[in-house]
Structure 1
Amino acid sequence: MERFLEELLIEPWRIPVIIATATGIYLGFMLLAKLFGSRVLMAMTASDAVVVIMFGAVAGRVIIGHPPTLVAGLIGLATLMVLEAAFGMLRRFTGWGRVLSRRPVLVVSEGQMLVDAMRSAHLSRTDVYTAVRRAGLASLEQVQAMVLEPTGTMSVIRTGQPFDPVVLRGVDGY
């Protein structure tokens, strides 16, 4: 019974360590996502999925520490959820939302790829062509505007489709 409880419980001195490492991993991931752009949030290839799984494995191991226990895992998860809620409120009620979140980026305009914008957003030509196909279009020339959204999705406005320019207000490159 004692061994069973050891596997579930945690020494009290480890609690602040877990909270600190979870906070560090969270902030580090936020910084890396900001640096590498919304591209990391797009639909994943097989290699992207492997990298995301490895991120999770490394982050989980760092947060929970050794030996991993149920309580350590719960403390780590709770810390990550509290951080996400706190940063969500910070984005909503302060100007930090513009600093923490990426802005949408215009990557195609009037059928032309905007190479500098694509480079800064870490997008390849293949990413753009994939978005064209997903939009049900047969060619890049059918794209009036394509925007990489902060969520990692690509929004496509078809050529000839009327739209209110207000829709693109706040989009980098418009």
Structure 2
Amino acid sequence: MGGTLVGGLSLWDYLGITQGAALAVIVATVVLYVTFIVLTRFLGQRVLASLSGFDLLVVIVLGAILGRATMGHTPTLAGGVIAVVTLFALEGVIGRLTSRPRWERLVNNRAVLLMAGPVVLHDELRRTHVTAAELRSRLRQAGIRTDDEVAAVVLEPTGTISVLRRGVPIRPAMLTDVRSAGRMPSDLLSS
């Protein structure tokens, strides 16, 4: 279709894509997307939480692997466009599905109580793969000086950690979908 460029490849070889290769990009993108959802469900919100230096390196490497795997042996502009359109379509479908409670629970992790008042829930830390050091760091960032200042600490479905201070009692409705909310001391809840 055009003149020869580097390595004997034409411009079309860099930009175009065959139907079979297009289908392969779509299938690879869908499979990797579903794999990512399953792994984040299995490993929990911690995967989505703020990144350390090492975590950032892993994300960069993961992005390179996923990009290469979705694009096939010889990446092309058309293949990249197809992969991006497929990802956005998947996001749209998942977004619509998660507006229904049954599907939302399937795709997203529940919020999890990590501290009930001054008590650290070590079993929930283990289950969510959050370390005590990460919890302490988040408490310091929230301006907490002692455990007695804490009403609750919640690992949100997005991976962020919310710190609720003592003072105003917490409405139980605020903890409706939070795993282990039943472990909250009653004196920290409003009636």
Give the TM-score of the pair, scaled to structure 2.
0.88
Return the alpha-carbon distance in structure 2 between the equivalents of residues 141 and 64 of structure 1.
52
Name the amino acid aligned to 1:99: L
**1:167 corresponds to which residue?**
174
Query: Is the CA contact (8 Å cut-off) linking 1:111 and 1:141 kept in structure 2?
Result: yes
Residue 131 (structure 2) pairs with residue 156 (structure 1): no
Cα deviation for residue 139 of structure 1 reads 2.1
Could you tell me which residue of structure 2 aligns to residue 73 of structure 1?
80
Q: Matched residues in 2 for 1:68 and 1:140: separation?
A: 53
Alignment pair present for 1:56 and 2:63: yes
Matching residue of 2:137: 130
Distance 1:154 1:94, change over 3 A: closer
CA contact (8 A) 1:112 1:141 kept: no
Say if 1:145 and 1:94 are closer, same or farther in 2 by CA, change over 3 A: closer
SS at match of 1:152: coil
Greater Cα radius of gyration, structure 1 or 2: 2
Runs of 4+ in 1 over 3 A off after TM superposition: none
Residue 91 of structure 1 contacts residue 100 of structure 1 at CA under 8 Å; is this kept in 2?
yes
Give, in whole Å, the separation in 1 of the partners of 2:17 and 2:57. 31
Tell me how far 1:136 sits from its aligned partner.
1.2
Structure 2's unaligned 5+ residue stretches are 4-9, 182-191
Is the 8 Å Cα contact of residues 38 and 151 (structure 1) preserved in structure 2? yes
Q: Aligned partners of 2:171 and 2:36: how far apart in 1?
A: 36
Find the aligned partners of 2:27 and 2:120 in 1 and give their Cα distance. 43
Gaps of 5+ in 1: none
Query: Partners of 1:161 and 1:120 in 2: how far apart?
Result: 29
Q: Does 1:46 align with 2:53?
A: yes
Instruction: Provide the rounded CA distance (Å) in 2 between the counterparts of 1:93 and 1:137.
Output: 37
Percent of residue pairs identical: 34
- Contact 1:23/1:83 (<8 A) preserved: yes
The count of aligned residue pairs is: 174
**8 Å contact kept, 1:129–1:140:** no
> What amino acid does structure 2 have at the position aligned with 1:146?
V
> Conserved in 2, the CA contact under 8 Å of 1:106 and 1:171?
yes
TM-score, length basis structure 1: 0.96
Residue aligning to 2:39: 32
Quote how far apart the aligned CAs of 1:99 are.
1.3
Q: 1:95, CA displacement in angstroms? A: 1.4
1:82 is matched with which residue: 85, 89, 98?
89
